[in-house]
Amino acid sequence: MFSGIIEESGKVVSINKEQSNLHITVRSPFTSELKIDQSIAHNGVCLTVVDIMNDNYTVTAIDETLQKTNLGLLKVGDNINLERCMRLGDRIDGHIVQGHVDQTAVCNKVEETNGSWLFGFEYDSSKNNVTVEKGSICVNGVSLTVVNSTANSFSVCIIPYTFEHTNFSSIKQGTIVNLEFDILGKYISKLMHRNA
């Protein structure tokens, strides 16, 4: 489990394809604290550490993950949002995030608003995922509050700290991002569609 509060920004140092899997090697400031088999969220995607060497560690994304996320679009040199799993007893500063990305969205608006930024995103609503005004959403692993919610789009407001310490600074119109919708909303949506 994660909170959606990004701990560090890592850098992709290598990407190796093996059959339908992608081995992604990342340099991070906390690599020395990691251990094999540990879970880390990468742009909101929970992946398992499979190798550690010096300042770098490697995770593997399987085909199922690559089809639902933006990890297959990563290039060497890209910055990636990182969060280690929560510890029992810590404060939850964001919201409950599983690291299980539901789908991707496309950025359709970036607007500077006199000291902060408004980012708009559009997603495929046929998957029955929903946002609600002032509800929680996880974008590239960042826990955020929804504004301007519609049937297939929403916006989020980004403060300077988040803009500077996550990869939001590199998101532009047309950028594909990972979305994890609120877990309670997913259960309610499924029940409503089952009973419809």
Residue 12's domain is classified under what CATH number?
Answer: 2.40.30.20
> Amino acid identity, residue 185?
G
Of 96, 78, 104, the residue nearest 167 (C-alpha): 78
Is residue 102 classed as helix, strand or coil in its secondary structure?
coil
Query: Is the residue at 53 inside a domain?
Result: yes
Asked if residue 58 lies in contact with residue 25, where contact means CB atoms within 8 angstroms, the answer is yes
Q: What is the span of the domain harbouring residue 137?
A: 103-195
Q: Are residues 118 and 190 in the same domain?
A: yes
Beta bridge pairs of residue 33: none
Question: The tokens 């969060």 sit on which residue?
Answer: 83
Q: Are residues 130 and 191 in the same domain?
A: yes
- Number of structural domains, the chain? 2
Q: Are residues 79 and 133 in the same domain?
A: no
Residue 33 DSSP class: G
Q: Per residue of the chain (196 residues), what is the pLDDT tens digit? A: 898 999 999 999 999 999 999 999 999 999 999 999 999 999 999 999 999 999 999 999 999 999 999 999 999 999 999 999 988 777 777 788 889 999 999 999 999 999 999 999 999 999 989 999 999 999 999 999 999 999 999 999 999 999 999 999 999 999 999 999 998 888 888 888 777 6
pLDDT, position 189:
83
Asked if residue 39 lies in contact with residue 135, where contact means CB atoms within 8 angstroms, the answer is no
Cα distance between residue 31 and residue 84, in whole Å: 11
Q: Are residues 187 and 115 in the same domain?
A: yes
Q: Are residues 27 and 76 in the same domain?
A: yes
Burial code of 114-151, b = ≥16 C-beta within 10 A, e = fewer? eeebebbbebeeeeebbbeeebbbbbbbbbbebeebee
Q: Are residues 138 and 167 in the same domain?
A: yes
> Amino acid identity, residue 68?
K
Query: Is the residue at 3 inside a domain?
Result: no
Residue 87 DSSP class: P
H and E: helices and strands count for the chain: 3, 12
Query: Is the residue at 98 inside a domain?
Result: no
